[in-house]
A and B are shown apart, each in its own frame.
Chain A
């Protein structure tokens, strides 16, 4: 393109020589004046437009001079510092946590092993002693007096010491001897 840097109009060789039918309408549109204050409105729109990545800004006197902390390098360093602090804190908490106390368990005695060679328990295992049962505070009454539920066979009507006549078994008398 052989246009000068100050003038963007193309050369005659690049321009169409004549216009086609109806193109005068398009050319009228192409030379329409822009509305007044267009550039100012665009600029004001650009200043008020939110940027893609917003950064929290310091306000008023708190704003640091030069705004160095808004540079990408400073933001990266700050992000790395935050990561280090968070990771270090987590590691310190993890490393200082005490181990939980051991659980209270009943240690069973070791199984009876043959102390003397040649003998074996034959499958016997140690049985712990029976626990002592509850102790009654009051004396227990005799069973004959208290236990009324149990049926006791009634004593015979005969006087003690009397002999009981046994039924006489049928005799085999008068059996002829041959």
Chain B
């Protein structure tokens, strides 16, 4: 067998594999773009609920999709992309929140009150609503971390208790029990503001 007869199948195999890799990469890019179109808004809301700042939330969404880009070859192995993405952005925003603790909370609340919808309200009503939202958020911040996380995720109508459990890597029964405790604590905190630490 001559050398050319040996090399030609070898290079043909290389070319075939290269074409397959290229096609797979294009498919992954398209899948990633579709994920961005479909879930960027949801991820932004999740990020904003924790960070309470539009630019920080958008940065968190960007970082989440950058992480997805690095693992785009394993996109096919992910069963539920939505829960997977929410889990990614949840971990990112919690990490950012821990690192940004030096920033005063009042800035976040003022920013949040500014962006919250207040259509049809007078100026006085808007001010009262803003004060109420700030008070509620202050109470939420006083909750223990586990209960606070479950309560915040339960506010998203897109997420079921099973999906919240998947995001937080806990069982569904734990989600229910923590949500129950969080609501009781919130009721106490809202009725007795002085008990806030």
Q: Which residues of A contact B (CB under 8 A)?
A: 1, 3, 8-11, 14-16, 20-23, 25-35, 38-39, 41-43, 45-46, 49, 51-52, 66-74, 77
B116-130, CB under 8 A of A: which get 1 and which 0?
110000000000000
Inter-chain CA distance A77–B15, complex, in Å, is 12
Is the pair B22, A46 in contact by a Cβ cutoff of 8 Å?
no
Q: List 27 A-B contacts (CB under 8 A).
A: A1-B163, A8-B82, A9-B157, A9-B158, A11-B160, A14-B162, A20-B187, A21-B190, A22-B139, A23-B151, A26-B140, A26-B151, A29-B155, A30-B155, A30-B156, A31-B45, A35-B58, A38-B41, A39-B36, A41-B62, A42-B65, A43-B36, A51-B70, A68-B15, A71-B20, A72-B21, A73-B18
> In the complex, how many angstroms separate the beta carbon of B145 from the nearest chain A beta carbon?
16
Which residues of chain A are near B14, meaning CB under 8 Å? Answer: 68, 71, 73-74, 77
- A-contact 0/1 string along B10-42, CB 8 Å cutoff: 000011011111100000000011001100110
Question: In the complex, what residue of chain A is closest to B49 when comparing beta carbons?
Answer: A29
Closest to B37 in A: A39
B157 touches A30 (CB 8 A): yes
Whether A49 pairs with B66 at a CB distance below 8 angstroms is: yes
Contact (Cβ within 8 A) B58 A38: yes
Residues of B with C-beta under 8 A to A52: 70
Main secondary structure of the interface of B (DSSP, over half): helix
Chain A residues closer than 8 Å to B18, beta-carbon distance: 66-71, 73-74
Chain A residues lying within 8 Å of B162, measured Cβ to Cβ, are: 1, 10, 14
Q: Which residues from B are CB-within-8-Å of A71? A: 14, 17-18, 20-22
Alpha-carbon distance between A14 and B69 when the two chains are bound, in angstroms: 32
CB neighbours (8 Å) of A21 from chain B are: 183, 186-187, 190
Any chain A CB within 8 A of the CB of B61?
yes
B residues contacting the other copy or chain, number (CB 8 A):
56
Q: Taking CB as reference atom, which chain B residue is nearest A26?
A: B155
Nearest B residue to A45 by beta-carbon distance?
B62
CA distance A25 to B64 in the complex (A): 25
Q: Given the complex, which residues of A lie within 8 Å of B96, measured CB to CB? A: none
A69 CA / B11 CA spacing, docked (Å): 11
Task: Tell me which residues across on chain A come within 8 A of B182, comparing CB atoms.
Answer: 20
CA distance A49 to B68 in the complex (A): 12
Of the residues B19, B116, B139, B160, contact of A1 by C-beta under 8 Å: B160
Q: How far is the CA of A32 from the CA of B46 in the complex (A)?
A: 10
- Asked if residues B160 and A14 are in contact (CB atoms below 8 Å), the reply is yes
Is B91 positioned at the interface, with any CB of A under 8 Å from its CB? no
Known contacts A8-B158, A23-B155, A29-B112; is A38 also within 8 Å of B40 by CB? yes
B179 at the interface (CB under 8 A from A): yes
The answer to whether A32 touches B48 (Cβ under 8 A) is: yes
Residue of A nearest to B54 (CB): A35
In the assembled complex, the Cα of A42 lies from the Cα of B62 at a distance in Å of 6
A30: B residues at CB distance < 8 A: 45, 49, 155-157
Please, which residues of chain B bring their CB within 8 A of the CB of A32?
45, 48, 115-117
A27 engages B48 (CB within 8 Å): no
Chain B: minimal CB distance from A42 (Å): 5
Bound-state Cα–Cα, A43 to B41, Å: 13
Task: Write out, one digit per residue, whether chain B residues 148-187 have a CB within 8 A of any chain A CB (1) or not (0).
Answer: 0001101111111111000000000000000100110011
| Supplied contacts A10-B163, A35-B54, A38-B58, 5 more A-B pairs, CB within 8 Å | A3-B160, A20-B186, A30-B45, A30-B156, A71-B21
